[in-house]
Amino acid sequence: MRITELIRISFRALTANKRRSLLTMLGIVIGITSVVTIMALGNGI
């Protein structure tokens, strides 16, 4: 498979499952924010 075909398939899957994609992105953002906050608090103490 070529990279352009893989990108096209992935965008099609993202648009087909909008709610699932939104929840996944929200979970990733919350997770990254939590790790950054905990690291900042740990370095501040």
Query: What pLDDT score does 44 carry?
Result: 84
Q: Is the pTM of this model over 0.85?
A: no
Helices 18-44 and 3-16 cross at an angle (nearest 10°) of 100
Query: What pLDDT score does 39 carry?
Result: 96
What is the residue range of 13's domain?
A: 3-44
- Please count the structural domains in the chain: 1
Query: Alpha-carbon Rg of the chain, whole angstroms?
Result: 16
- pLDDT tens track for 9-24: 988 988 998 999 999 9
Query: What is the band of 4 on the pLDDT scale with cuts at 50, 70, 90?
Result: very high
CB-hemisphere CA count at 13 Å for 15? 5
